[in-house]
Amino acid sequence: MGKHASVLDGPQMGYGVGPPSRRGMSVPALMLAIVCVTLAGLLTLSLAGRHQAAVRAAASPSPSASGTDVPPAGAPDAVAAFIGAWAQAPADRDNVLASVTVTGVAATVAPATAKTLETTQASGAAMYTKVDDQQYAAEQPLTNGSTMRLQLVFDQAAIYGWLVSSVQPV
């Protein structure tokens, strides 16, 4: 008996290995290769990002007690706008404070602190202390010799990226 080709085998039925393609690779195999390469790339980027974050965390010093941390971009502008707002007329002050403070902070400022802020100005640069990635403390010296401590919180939607969340004399 000789070998007979079965009608159920071969390319006519869609089973088994078909004739070699002139294009080199079938479309499903190409799609699978693209998906695999993409997933491998995403995994590599994810692991590299975690490694860099771990290296930064290990290399970054703990918050300094001396208040000499470099302020993040926008924080000095938020502090300057907050301090400068108190010298303006109440309606203008409220508008500026609304753009650089957490909702309701201006109403919680003690009357004596508000009076000090209204009658004095910033004197020199504020000193910043990093609390965590989302918070900084700023100590702003004033022209009357006093100092105000402002707590800043990160807010991506804020005009300067930072909002004053509390203020108190030092």
pLDDT, tens digit, 9 for 90 and up, residues 26-35? 888 888 888 8
Same-domain status, 55 and 111: no
Q: What is the pLDDT of residue 134?
A: 95
Same-domain status, 153 and 110: yes
Give the count of domains, the chain: 2
CB atoms under 10 Å from CB of 69, counted, come to 17
Could you tell me the CATH number of the domain that includes residue 126? 3.10.450
Same-domain status, 81 and 119: yes
What percent of the chain is predicted at pLDDT more than 70? 72
Same-domain status, 134 and 82: yes
Q: Looking at residues 53-68, what average pLDDT do you find?
A: 47
Question: Would you say residue 87 lies in a domain?
Answer: yes
CB atoms under 10 Å from CB of 137, counted, come to 18
Three-state secondary structure readout of 59-118: HCCCCCCCCCECCCCCHHHHHHHHHHHCCCCHHHHHHHHHHHECCCHHHHCCHHHHHHHH
Structural domain for 27, as ranges: 19-60
**pTM of this structure:** 0.61
Q: Summarize pLDDT for 74-125 with one digit per residue, the tens.
A: 999 999 999 999 999 998 999 999 999 999 998 899 999 999 999 999 999 9
Question: Would you say residue 47 lies in a domain?
Answer: yes
Question: Would you say residue 11 lies in a domain?
Answer: no
Question: Would you say residue 120 lies in a domain?
Answer: yes
Question: Would you say residue 132 lies in a domain?
Answer: yes
